[in-house]
Amino acid sequence: MRPPPTIRRRDARVRDGWPADVPPLLRRIYAGRDAHDLETARPRLAGLHAPEGLSNIELASGLLADAIAHDARILVVGDFDCDGATACAVAVRGLRMLGARDVVHAVPHRIVHGYGLSPALVDALAPLQPGLLVTVDHGIACHAGIAAARERGWRVLVTDHHLPGDRLPSADAIVNPNLPGDAFPSKVLAGVGVIFYVLLALRARLRAQGAFDGPGPDLSVLLDLVAVGTVADLVPLDANNRALVAAGLRRLRSGQANPGLLALAEVSGREATRLTASDIGFAIGPRLNAAGRLEDMAIGIECLLTDDPAQARELARTLHDINAERRTVQQAMLDDAEAVVARLPAVASDSAGVCLHDPDWHPGVVGLVASKMKDALHRPVVAFAPAEPGSAQLRGSARSIPGLHIRDVLAAVDTAHPGLIERFGGHAMAAGLSLQAERYDAFVDAFRTQVTAMLDPALLRAEIVTDGALDPREFDIAHAIHLRDAGPWGQAFPEPVFDGEFTVVDWRIVGTRHLKLTLRLDGRAQPLSAIHFGGWRDVAPASRERLVYRLAPDDYRGGDAVQLVVEHREACTGGEGGQT
């Protein structure tokens, strides 16, 4: 058993100058996120960073403009996650809007081709004979694949956001805000954000060349796709990304959004007019991601490219069914992982880093297993599965805790043990890698050694940061709606959560794992309804508990009803369990 997390409240010092229509609660929330004025708290598209700051953006727009002028075939190669799928759809739709008449797309199959632009994928794409190949959300680590494409005489434009290695691939142009020396102010664009910026630069170039009678096509129609890819990829929502996501959410709520996204919202039971970033993260994103994990992301991209609402609904239903299968596979793998951890020697389970592997696991779901086990153990976790059934190659997915840059850990392992890892890449909190199965034990030892050396032991105690307590008068529908709509919330700009002590008046189990609570709060006459998803632990709640929770409209009861969505609960000192 891990020690309970430490609950810490944000330091929110509210400054003067807020408009009168911004409630005091929101001023406090924004201040806790270092947003001290309306412009910072709710950034607009007008404040977006200019594309010119991105290295090689002029070279990239020139390659695209030349391909359009000569009617060359442009091949967009996506990736098999939500960011890659939305980036592919943005590229295809945007290039066609800007005058490209021959745009085709492809996406690697996780099992057949592996990650990114591999030589195997280049061979498979050879019959298409593109004049220009454009990677979206990958490419910075695809040295062999890009070299193979160049050998065929194809020009290659890489658009990516992943961290580069010590050397860059031999592409004709690379646009990536994380290139050494890049001057773009935001380093946290998602892959879909990078290709959107490339399209902005391309439109500016074409406009200067006189290609349009007016300002040119309205690329803001693509922002719903940009929002979904940005949120689903869990990149930090700095001001630039929040402006993109907020604009995309407005388009989604307008009913004029991408038919595939609207169909995915419908099939997941979400009301389009009230979609939030959380709905993207928990409903739309997983259904798109499931296609790349278990099947073929081509299905997801097709859903995002169709303009036929009926076809979009049919494809969305297919994605919904694949996601249901993914959840079944994931739960079985999680059960296996928990059993493995339970059997680990104390020295292994208590180590700073944990590695898990099962020959029967699916490589498309190991990232989810690593994420869930990282949350449960509060340790960096790498989960491995065979690249395909019976393969001698393992594919791993790593997830980290705050304070440890997981890609740097893998780089350190690679430096200390050359050849142990075949390939790797990623970000601070998530990374992927491959290695031979016979070298798994050696990797486990090397990984634990590097994590131990690089991680402050104090960070192994989980911490929950809250926005403090709500006043008893703030538990109402008006404040719940303000909190819902004041985002977008996400990575580095977290959704508001609060903590406080409550008396448990009544409780019951909903389904098999969820806990429904009726609570009393000192200073408030009316009881409060709460739900703790996955909160049933085979032990009755204490009579008095400290909760970490979100305040949300109760869509089930409707009207002015609100409920607390519990994120964490623990017994207050002296609280006793009881049955209902």
* Average pLDDT score over residue span 101-127: 90
Q: What is the structure's pLDDT at 478?
A: 96
Evaluate if residue 579 carries a pLDDT over 90. Answer: no
Backbone angles phi, psi at 115, to 5 degrees: -80, 140
Q: What is the structure's pLDDT at 453?
A: 95
List the structure tokens of 500: 């406080």
Interval 258-303: pLDDT, tens: 999 999 999 999 999 999 999 999 999 999 988 887 777 899 999 9
Q: Categorize the per-residue pLDDT at 577 as very low, low, confident or very high, splitting at 50, 70 and 90.
A: very low
Alpha helices by DSSP H, 393-439: 406-416
- Please, what's the b/e burial string for 66-103 (b: 16 or more CB within 10 A of its CB; e: otherwise)? ebbeeebbbbbbbbbbbbbbbbbbbbbbbbebbbbeeb
Distance, in Å, from the CA atom of 496 to the CA atom of 513, rounded to the nearest integer, reads 24
Distance, in Å, from the CA atom of 435 to the CA atom of 414, rounded to the nearest integer, reads 11
Q: Categorize the per-residue pLDDT at 350 as very low, low, confident or very high, splitting at 50, 70 and 90.
A: low
Q: What is the structure's pLDDT at 2?
A: 63
Inter-residue contact 496 to 28 (CB < 8 Å): no
Residues near 83 by beta carbon (within 8 Å), at least 6 away in sequence: 137, 190, 191, 192, 229, 230, 232, 233
Inter-residue contact 52 to 177 (CB < 8 Å): no
Q: What is the structure's pLDDT at 314?
A: 97
Q: Categorize the per-residue pLDDT at 348 as very low, low, confident or very high, splitting at 50, 70 and 90.
A: low
* Average pLDDT value over all residues in the chain: 93
Q: Categorize the per-residue pLDDT at 330 as very low, low, confident or very high, splitting at 50, 70 and 90.
A: confident
Q: Categorize the per-residue pLDDT at 209 as very low, low, confident or very high, splitting at 50, 70 and 90.
A: very high
Evaluate if residue 419 carries a pLDDT over 70. Answer: yes
Domains, the chain, with CATH or none: 49-244 (3.90.1640.30), 344-460 (3.10.310.30), 464-571 (2.40.50.460)
Distances (CA, A) of 329 to 62, 114, 295, 360, 505: 45, 20, 13, 11, 37
Interval 388-411: pLDDT, tens: 888 999 999 999 999 999 999 999
DSSP E strand stretches across 362-473: 381-386, 393-399, 423-426, 430-436, 463-466
* Average pLDDT score over residue span 176-189: 96
Q: What is the structure's pLDDT at 558?
A: 75
Q: If you compute the radius of gyration of the chain from its CA atoms, what whole number of angstroms results?
A: 24
Backbone angles phi, psi at 393, to 5 degrees: -100, 140
Inter-residue contact 560 to 477 (CB < 8 Å): yes
Q: Which residues pair with 383 in a beta bridge?
A: 356, 397
Distance, in Å, from the CA atom of 343 to the CA atom of 433, rounded to the nearest integer, reads 25
Evaluate if residue 255 carries a pLDDT over 90. Answer: no
Evaluate if residue 68 carries a pLDDT over 60. Answer: yes
Backbone angles phi, psi at 312, to 5 degrees: -60, -45
Inter-residue contact 532 to 570 (CB < 8 Å): no
Distance, in Å, from the CA atom of 528 to the CA atom of 518, rounded to the nearest integer, reads 6
Left if phi > 0, otherwise alpha if psi is -120 to 50, otherwise beta: which for 164?
Answer: beta
Interval 465-510: pLDDT, tens: 999 999 999 999 999 999 999 999 999 999 999 999 999 999 999 9
Q: What is the structure's pLDDT at 39?
A: 92
Return the ∠ at Cα 358 (arms to 352 and 364), rounded to 5°.
95
Pairing of strands 381-386, 393-399: antiparallel
Q: Structure pTM? A: 0.89
List of long-range contacts for 553-560, beta carbons under 8 Å, 24+ apart: 553/477, 553/480, 553/481, 553/484, 554/529, 557/529, 559/477, 560/476, 560/477
Q: What is the structure's pLDDT at 307?
A: 97
Relative orientation angle of helices 259-267 and 223-232, to the nearest 10 degrees:
50
Distance, in Å, from the CA atom of 111 to the CA atom of 115, rounded to the nearest integer, reads 9
* Average pLDDT score over residue span 67-96: 96
Q: What is the structure's pLDDT at 580?
A: 32
Interval 210-245: pLDDT, tens: 999 989 999 999 999 999 999 999 899 999 999 999
